Amino acid sequence: MSSNKQASIGIFDSGIGGLTVAKAVIDALPNENIIYFGDTARVPYGIKSEETIREYALEITDFLLSKGVKMILIACNTVSASAKNDALEKAGNIPVLDVITSGTKTALAHKSNSHIGVIGTLATVNSKAYEKSIHAITPETKVTQQACPLLVPLAEEGWIDNDIATKTLGNYLSVFEHVDIDSLILGCTHYPLFKDVIPGVLNSGSVEIIDSAESIAETAKNTLKELGLLNENGGSFSCFVTDRPQRFQQLAERFLGRKVSDVVITHL
């Protein structure tokens, strides 16, 4: 494990969705140096086989390790579902955190967790990764899932709270109208962009919205504190992508709400 407090936190995703995780980490840990890797040449991962996803995840993990990172965050639900253990093994003694485990723990820490809702991509919902993660801790908790594939293109278009977005959300979230969920996990890293809109669409102020980006950022903060690796005088942010750096930069600035100047194209 790197004992260098100035070493970077590595964050990776299949594309740009993981920037919501990066934003949460920047907010929670403003003094940390961050390296973000977006595999923009091979996105989306959700339609790939598990073997291919594992191969990609190991290549990216190798890349981040070559940069001397002190921690790796898997900011991709598909990788978290299919290749978390592979990345853990490859990283050795470098801590590896993932959005599914973090989101699950936050949902189960809620005062009432007898029924948890999950929204995600088709791949994440079909994998039942959240359901398995929840039931591994509390088998009696009921889980209702809903795939929301159109939310990703809406988020990338910047259509967050217009009529098209709210009607699309209403259609998807109608499955939760009569099932009385206690909390709703946003099981895709694009979905936190809709976090302020969802409660109004659900028409329920009592449902706790679980943002796995915030959850993993908080877990990262606590882990670094326990290891004595919190940085006190950093704050750099650099990005590596495998294709279309200009498009990535435009979307990154929208997701992060800040200028992004350091986007480097790299080939694994």
Residue positions annotated with a catalytic role: 76, 188
Nearest to 21 by CA among 7, 8, 34, 31: 34
What are the residues whose beta carbons fall under 8 Å from the beta carbon of 169, sequence distance 6 or more?
A: 148, 151, 194, 197, 198, 201
Q: DSSP assignment of 60-82, as one string?
A: HHHHHHHTT-SEEEE--HHHHHH
Q: Which 3 state secondary structure label does DSSP give 183?
A: strand
Q: What sign for the dihedral angle of Cα 77, 82, 84, 87?
A: negative
Residue 232, class by beta-carbon neighbours within 10 Å (0-12 exposed, 13-18 middle, 19+ buried)? exposed
Are 231 and 5 in contact by the 8 Å Cβ rule? The answer is yes
